Amino acid sequence: MKTRFAPSLSALLAISAAWAHAQAPAPQGAVAGRATAHTEASAQGVIAGAQLLLPANATGASAYLGPLKDAPATAHAKVPVVVFLHGSSGLGLEAIAQWQQWLGSLGIASLAPDSFALAERMTYQSPVGKDAYEKIHALRSSEIMLALDALRRLPWADTRRLVLAGTSEGAVAVARHGGDEFIGRIIFSWSCEDNYFVERAQTAIRPAQPLLNVISAADPFFSPANAWLGNPAARGHCAQAFEDHPDASVVLLPGAPHTVLNLRAARQPVQAFLLDLFR
């Protein structure tokens, strides 16, 4: 397992100080909505409303960005696909479309299932109880198979070249998925550690599978900079979870925000990782 772009000494000292000296109590969280399992109707909506980027080499014309249900019905060529699981704010986060368009410029399609197709879907303002988080994690995990089933029926999807990626809430499901349908994984803004967000990390990626973890060295939720992280031994990244994985890399971004998708320092290793897998 390789670790790159290590944070500076000053950044590490700042993180340590934040952990050691933070005295503020945890903020008061809140939960809204009660639905935590997809219905037959919402399962269809997850995929019909999934945000799709089809690159120009797949359409034979201009790139397509929009719901899967409105995508071109024919394909000019098969292309590799990144299945992307959004975070707790859903597909409304503008950074996701920007990232998908960037992938499209590399000739890579991307499909982002819409978890909020479920009516009254549970949402939260952290921190809340681990039982609530785990219900959401199970919901997100179920969306992986929904996406796979859809891709097997789509003429432009090269199902031999699939990568599973996700950010924050979505990244937990990426790390926990134990299947071998994907040739690689990308985990954005999740540390693969026990903390307030999970009962246990339950990382299940097989050692032989290539993977990339990209996260801020001072992530406001999952690094020791969070005073209510709930794990005094946490490192704030996935290095320990993947120490026995020969083809794993961890990229730490000093001073970065929680959403790192479109930072240049994040895009560079992601591009190298994907183009190597898809060549």
Q: Which domains does the chain have, with CATH numbers?
A: 2-278 (3.40.50.1820)
Segment 30-34 mean pLDDT = 98
Write down the mean pLDDT value for the chain. 93
Asked whether residue 67 carries a pLDDT value surpassing 90, the answer given is yes
Distances 247 to 150, 161, 254 between C-alpha atoms, Å:
29, 17, 23
What pLDDT does 14 receive?
A: 44
CA 254 – CA 268 distance, rounded (Å): 15
Asked whether residue 155 carries a pLDDT value surpassing 90, the answer given is yes
Segment 146-169 mean pLDDT = 98
Report pLDDT digits (tens) over 188-247.
999 999 999 999 999 999 999 999 999 999 999 999 999 999 999 999 999 999 999 999
Number of Cβ atoms within 10 Å of the Cβ of 199: 11
What pLDDT does 3 receive?
A: 53
What pLDDT does 277 receive?
A: 98
Q: At what angle do helices 40-48 and 130-151 cross, to 10 degrees?
A: 60
Asked whether residue 8 carries a pLDDT value surpassing 90, the answer given is no
What pLDDT does 25 receive?
A: 75
Query: Do residues 174 and 141 touch, judged by C-beta distance below 8 A?
Result: no
Segment 6-29 mean pLDDT = 54
The token pair at 97 is: 């479309």
Give the SS3 label for residue 157: strand
- Residues paired with 277 in a beta bridge: none
- Distance from the Cα of residue 7 to its chain's centroid: 22
What pLDDT does 17 receive?
A: 43
Asked whether residue 51 carries a pLDDT value surpassing 80, the answer given is yes
What pLDDT does 21 receive?
A: 37
Lowest mean pLDDT among 13-27, 176-190, 202-216, 250-264: 13-27
Report pLDDT digits (tens) over 207-220.
999 999 999 999 99
- Residues paired with 110 in a beta bridge: 53, 82
Asked whether residue 160 carries a pLDDT value surpassing 80, the answer given is yes
Distances 24 to 10, 18, 97, 216, 235 between C-alpha atoms, Å:
23, 11, 36, 22, 20
Predicted model pTM: 0.92
